[in-house]
């Protein structure tokens, strides 16, 4: 990706698709030019039904492009634009544009440019509330987020036709500010943050063959790691399980494999001073035992196992934390969910406690979905209804990002 210099301003591709909010893109173009950016407008054919090419050409750094087919100076416009862009921003991004981008279609210059670029992409959706809330639209956005696309979700406000609801494109000033941050290296609300996440159930050895463990699959921890990386964080995952085949490949995440609670404790505490956030999503064993050095034989009868409590990693983290660090605990419950959660929150001293009822249908261990309650230090309760563990991760990490911005602890 090209780098901007004082002699070579950042190049912004401004994509405009066919929605009524396209009129706001004129103001966005002006704001981007006021920042000194080189702005190349790319309008879809439908966009020109709402706004005129002449206006964009007059305000931009170069005339509007809208054809896949080039000329003598730029024979292949989509590769030229894609390769030279520092940031691509699409405002408005309609449901139709989002669907084509998610499907990998390249049937006009804008979608072809998006596919031909490794530059950061910012989508600014704008559509009626009913369209915004459609599962197909949200699934397409989830796909694009998973691929690293940044989505600036729409506001609630007045829409075309006199309706009011979610779907109003963010204001040009807010979009322009975010583009400035993207040019400077911003990747998401966790940009520049270092996040440590634990995943899976620990395994306590009985002998060289047998272990005592729990039902945790590690899926929620892996989903948190993937989403945290998409939001710009540098992520370390301390895990007792390997889910590379079960979940999306975790990109650019350092994975540290452990087995027992003591191994997990050592790895987490060793790294504590170097991170901004610790999320203890792992199901850590409450008890361990002294393992036999030899395999226990069946003909010797049932063994007598002597259990000892494991160290409480969360309490150790809270005791050793530095100012500004955010600590997130997890709790799996089967009864009296919120009351047990409040008791644990008060005992642990974490910034957030994420609790789920693992006895509920499609919730918790081994399921691709989850339903959680998030409690903060003021004992405010946020209920996150049943959804994918990826979507739950976004809810948790949004709270984490908010705490970091406030300088938690």
The CATH number linked to 46 is 3.40.50.1950
Count structural domains, the chain.
2
**What is the rounded average pLDDT of the residues 14-33?**
97
Where residue 1 falls among pLDDT bands split at 50, 70, 90? low
Distance in angstroms (rounded) separating the CA atoms of residues 154 and 406: 24
189 falls within a domain: no
Q: Are residues 334 and 363 in the same domain?
A: yes
Distance in angstroms (rounded) separating the CA atoms of residues 119 and 7: 20
The CATH number linked to 304 is 3.40.50.10300
Where residue 6 falls among pLDDT bands split at 50, 70, 90? low
Asked whether residue 64 carries a pLDDT value surpassing 90, the answer given is: yes
High-pLDDT (> 70) share of the chain, %: 96
Q: Are residues 242 and 383 in the same domain?
A: yes
1 falls within a domain: no
Q: Are residues 290 and 356 in the same domain?
A: yes
**What is the rounded average pLDDT of the residues 40-46?**
97
23 falls within a domain: yes
Q: Of 73-77, 274-278, 373-377, which gets the smallest average pLDDT?
A: 73-77
Where residue 140 falls among pLDDT bands split at 50, 70, 90? very high
Give the pLDDT confidence score for residue 245 in this predicted structure. 42
- Which of 183, 211, 240 marks a domain boundary? 183
Distance in angstroms (rounded) separating the CA atoms of residues 61 and 33: 8
Domain containing residue 100: 11-183
DSSP single-letter state for residue 161: G
**Residues 46, 66 contacting (CB under 8 angstroms):** no
Q: Are residues 158 and 203 in the same domain?
A: no
Q: Which of 214, 242, 356, 362 is catalytic?
A: 214
Q: Are residues 165 and 203 in the same domain?
A: no
Q: Are residues 230 and 368 in the same domain?
A: yes
Phi-psi region of 407 (alpha: psi -120 to 50; beta: other; left: phi over 0): left
212 falls within a domain: yes
Give the pLDDT confidence score for residue 328 in this predicted structure. 98
Distance in angstroms (rounded) separating the CA atoms of residues 385 and 283: 21
Task: For residue 44, give both structure tokens.
Answer: 């879809």
- Which of 183, 211, 231 marks a domain boundary? 183
Q: Of 216-220, 292-296, 398-402, which gets the smallest average pLDDT?
A: 292-296
**Residues 409, 321 contacting (CB under 8 angstroms):** yes
Where residue 246 falls among pLDDT bands split at 50, 70, 90? very low
**Residues 15, 114 contacting (CB under 8 angstroms):** yes
Q: Are residues 234 and 378 in the same domain?
A: yes
Where residue 249 falls among pLDDT bands split at 50, 70, 90? very low
Q: Are residues 272 and 165 in the same domain?
A: no
Asked whether residue 409 carries a pLDDT value surpassing 70, the answer given is: no
97 falls within a domain: yes
Of 382 and 360, the structure prediction assigns the larger pLDDT to 382
352 falls within a domain: yes
Q: Of 43-57, 129-143, 201-215, which gets the smallest average pLDDT?
A: 201-215
Asked whether residue 4 carries a pLDDT value surpassing 80, the answer given is: no
pLDDT, averaged across the chain: 90
**What is the rounded average pLDDT of the residues 192-209?**
89
Q: Of 13-27, 95-109, 371-385, which gets the smallest average pLDDT?
A: 371-385
Give whole-number Cα distances, 98 to 14, 95, 140, 374, 406, in Å: 15, 5, 7, 31, 33
H-helix or E-strand spanning residue 352? strand 352-357
- Which of 133, 151, 183 marks a domain boundary? 183
6 falls within a domain: no
Q: Are residues 160 and 205 in the same domain?
A: no
Whether 214 is catalytic is yes
pTM for this prediction = 0.76
Q: Are residues 210 and 316 in the same domain?
A: yes
DSSP single-letter state for residue 49: G
Cis status, amide bond into 163, omega within 30 of 0: no
Q: Which residues pair with 257 in a beta bridge?
A: 239
Q: Are residues 345 and 293 in the same domain?
A: yes
Q: Are residues 139 and 262 in the same domain?
A: no
**What is the rounded average pLDDT of the residues 139-148?**
87
399 falls within a domain: yes
**What is the rounded average pLDDT of the residues 204-211?**
80
- Closest by Cα among 338, 341, 394, 387 to 362: 387
Q: Of 44-58, 162-176, 334-348, which gets the smallest average pLDDT?
A: 334-348
For 275-333, write each residue's pLDDT tens digit.
Answer: 999 999 998 988 888 877 778 788 788 887 888 888 999 999 999 999 999 999 999 88
């Amino acid at each position: 990706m090209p780098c901007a210099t004082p002699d070579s301003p950042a190049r912004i591709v401004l994509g405009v698709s066919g929605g009524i909010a396209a009129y706001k893109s004129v103001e966005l173009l002006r704001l981007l030019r006021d920042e000194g950016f080189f702005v190349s407008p790319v309008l879809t054919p439908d966009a020109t039904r709402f706004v005129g090419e002449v206006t964009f050409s007059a305000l931009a750094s170069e005339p509007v492009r809208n054809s896949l087919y080039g000329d003598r100076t730029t024979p292949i416009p989509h590769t030229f634009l894609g390769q030279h862009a520092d940031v691509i921003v699409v405002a408005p991004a309609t449901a139709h544009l989002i669907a084509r981008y998610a499907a990998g279609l390249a049937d006009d210059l804008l979608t072809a440019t998006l596919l031909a670029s490794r530059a950061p992409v910012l989508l600014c959706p704008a559509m009626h509330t009913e369209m915004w809330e459609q599962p197909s639209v949200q699934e397409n956005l989830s796909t694009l987020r998973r691929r690293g696309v940044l989505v600036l979700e729409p506001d609630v406000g007045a829409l075309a036709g006199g309706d009011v609801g979610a779907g109003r494109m963010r204001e040009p000033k807010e979009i322009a500010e975010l583009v400035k941050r993207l040019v400077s290296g911003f990747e998401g609300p966790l940009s520049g943050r270092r996040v440590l996440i634990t995943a899976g159930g620990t395994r306590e050895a009985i002998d060289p063959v047998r272990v005592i463990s729990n039902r945790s699959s590690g899926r929620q921890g892996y989903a948190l790691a993937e989403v945290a990386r998409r939001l710009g964080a540098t992520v370390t995952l301390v895990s007792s399980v390997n889910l590379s085949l079960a979940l999306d490949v975790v990109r650019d995440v350092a994975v540290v494999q452990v087995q027992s609670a003591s191994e997990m404790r050592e790895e987490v505490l060793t790294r504590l001073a170097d991170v901004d956030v610790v999320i203890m999503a792992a199901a850590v064993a409450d008890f361990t035992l002294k393992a036999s050095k030899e395999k226990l034989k069946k003909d010797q009868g049932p063994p007598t196992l002597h259990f000892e409590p494991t160290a409480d990693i969360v309490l150790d983290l809270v005791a050793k934390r530095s100012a500004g660090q955010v600590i997130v605990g997890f709790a799996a419950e089967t009864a009296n969910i919120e009351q047990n959660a409040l008791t644990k929150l008060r005992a642990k001293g974490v910034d957030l406690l994420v609790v789920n009822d693992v006895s509920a249908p499609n919730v918790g261990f081994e399921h691709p979905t989850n339903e959680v309650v998030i409690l903060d230090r003021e004992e405010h309760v946020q209920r996150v209804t049943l959804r994918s563990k990826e979507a739950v991760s976004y809810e948790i990490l949004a709270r984490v990002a908010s705490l970091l911005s406030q300088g938690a602890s």
